[in-house]
């Protein structure tokens, strides 16, 4: 890479933390870690030629900003690399600072120790329930509700990350950790240097190599028992909030959405197979499965609960093998769906898990699905409540 930035004539460059960047004519120097990077080419309007460009995200722990690097070197810039760059151009886009590396910019590797020190007391306290896409430069105290490892592909590399759920008294939020912070369910932690990005329309806390995580006493935080015993939320509230990372719902089964009952899945991706075709893998031999897309209503709204094989068999009282045997004797899959609906209709269920919301409504992917005792309703009492405006 080229040599490190030199001082501008008559005035030395100003080295700033990312959270302090503002549009200015003065030469600015930054030290930051490459969070993500993508190489592409832009077609020049002047002559139709191709111009290389790198773009991605930079972070120094105080903030995360987008960057664009015109005519970068041909060697690859790896994620996690710490750079010193200047002078950089700073502009504001949609209320957020962005930086551009131009032909005057000199970029050089920097040492980890050159990144600004992060002290928890210097950062504002955030609450889980108020986090939004783009939040950064905060400290967060929360309890780990759940965590599990996951392997993903990043380019040609396989990376191990950790996904889970954080909670405090204001709510819960998903998180992704790109480093192993030794998190365990129930642990109370303080996070410094995390940032928030939207995933499936919901905020998610991102922890990377620059983030600092430490265990704390956590007596002011809800316990896992408190969280698991939390009361049901009104279904209507999920549409406005675009779902939830974890929610408890109660309602009455009023219908089934197709496909329910006996279905066939692709042996590779587990997607539904229709007429022997998988959308991703083409012609396949589908594997039989049971599912119930239960429509649950609590009086404020309705949600579709995607019950898998185990929950469907338990609630229905029938096994997959029994359904296949019936299908051999009576080759009509719609009859099985009708029987499943008759078995579930009117039953009260309590479901908990992740909920998503889109233009087609709210869908819950249950971690727990239990039947509740039925409630005897006095029609006369209900009529009186309605007439008196109490219902």
What is the domain partition of the chain in residue ranges? 14-114, 121-220, 230-262+290-372
Quick check: do 14-114 and 121-220 share a fold? Answer: yes
**Fold for domain 121-220?**
OB fold (Dihydrolipoamide Acetyltransferase, E2P) (2.40.50)
Give the single-character DSSP code of 300. S
Question: What is the crossing angle of helices 333-344 and 309-316, to 10°?
Answer: 70
Does the domain formed by 230-262+290-372 have CATH 3.40.50.300? no
Mean confidence (pLDDT) of the chain? 85
Number of Cβ atoms within 10 Å of the Cβ of 67: 22
14-114, CATH topology level: OB fold (Dihydrolipoamide Acetyltransferase, E2P) (2.40.50)
Distance, CA of 175 to CA of 166 (rounded, Å): 7
Is the model's pTM score more than 0.85?
A: no
Given a cut of 90, is residue 138 above it in pLDDT? no
DSSP 8-state class, residue 274:
B
Q: Mind listing the pLDDT tens digit for each residue in 340-366? A: 999 999 999 999 988 888 888 899 999
- Residue 246 scores a pLDDT above 80: yes
Confidence of residue 390 (pLDDT cuts 50, 70, 90): low
**Rounded-to-integer distance, Cα 354 and Cα 249, Å:** 11
Q: Which residue has the higher pLDDT, 112 or 286?
A: 286
Cβ-based neighbours of 323, under 8 Å, separated by 6 or more: 261, 262, 290, 336
Tokens found for residue 213: 């995580």
**Tens of pLDDT along 363-389?**
999 989 999 987 665 555 645 655 665
CA atoms of 81 and 56, how far apart (whole Å): 13
Q: How far are the Cα atoms of 54, 160, 173, 228 from residue 248, in angstroms, in the given order?
A: 44, 30, 15, 9
pLDDT in tens, 42-79: 877 777 778 888 888 888 877 778 888 888 888 888 87
Residue 344, helix vs strand vs coil: helix
Task: Say whether pLDDT at 1 is over 70.
Answer: no
Q: Residue 197's pLDDT band (boundaries 50, 70, 90)?
A: confident
Nearest to 126 by CA among 173, 79, 93: 173
Distance (Å, whole) CA 64 – CA 34: 10
């Amino acid at each position: 890479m080229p040599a490190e930035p030199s001082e501008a004539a008559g005035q030395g460059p100003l080295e700033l933390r990312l959270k302090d960047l503002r549009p200015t004519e003065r030469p600015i120097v930054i030290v930051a870690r490459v969070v993500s990077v993508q190489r592409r080419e832009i077609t020049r309007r002047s002559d139709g030629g191709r111009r290389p460009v790198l773009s991605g995200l930079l972070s120094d722990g105080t903030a995360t900003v987008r960057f664009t690097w015109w005519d970068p070197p041909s060697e690859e810039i790896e994620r996690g690399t710490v750079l010193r760059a200047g002078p950089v151009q700073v502009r504001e886009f949609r209320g957020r600072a962005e930086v551009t590396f131009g032909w005057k910019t000199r970029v050089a590797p920097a040492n980890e120790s050159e990144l600004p020190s992060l002290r928890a007391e210097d950062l504002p306290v955030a609450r889980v329930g108020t986090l939004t896409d783009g939040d950064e430069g905060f400290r967060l105290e929360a309890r780990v509700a759940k965590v599990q490892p996951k392997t993903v592909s990043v380019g040609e590399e396989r990376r191990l990350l950790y996904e889970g759920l954080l909670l405090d008294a204001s709510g819960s939020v998903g998180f992704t950790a790109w480093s192993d912070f030794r998190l365990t369910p129930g642990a109370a932690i303080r996070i410094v240097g995390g940032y928030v990005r939207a995933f499936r329309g919901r905020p998610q806390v991102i922890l990377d190599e620059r983030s600092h995580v430490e265990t704390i006493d956590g007596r002011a935080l809800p316990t896992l028992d408190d969280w698991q015993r939390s009361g049901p939320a009104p279904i209507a509230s999920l549409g406005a909030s675009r779902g939830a990372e974890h929610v408890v719902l109660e309602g009455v089964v009023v219908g089934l959405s197709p496909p329910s009952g006996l279905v066939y899945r692709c042996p590779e991706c587990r997607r539904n197979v229709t007429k022997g075709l998988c959308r991703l893998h083409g012609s396949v031999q589908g594997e039989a499965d049971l599912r119930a897309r239960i429509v649950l209503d609590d009086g404020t709204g309705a949600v579709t609960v995607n019950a898998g094989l185990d929950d469907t068999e338990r609630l229905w009282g029938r096994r997959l093998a029994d359904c296949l045997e019936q299908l051999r004797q009576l080759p009509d899959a719609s009859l099985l769906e009708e029987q499943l609906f008759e078995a579930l209709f009117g039953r009260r269920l309590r479901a908990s898990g992740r909920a998503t919301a889109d233009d087609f409504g709210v869908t819950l992917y249950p971690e727990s699905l239990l039947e509740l005792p039925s409630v005897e309703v006095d029609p006369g009492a209900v009529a009186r409540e309605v007439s008196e405006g109490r219902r």
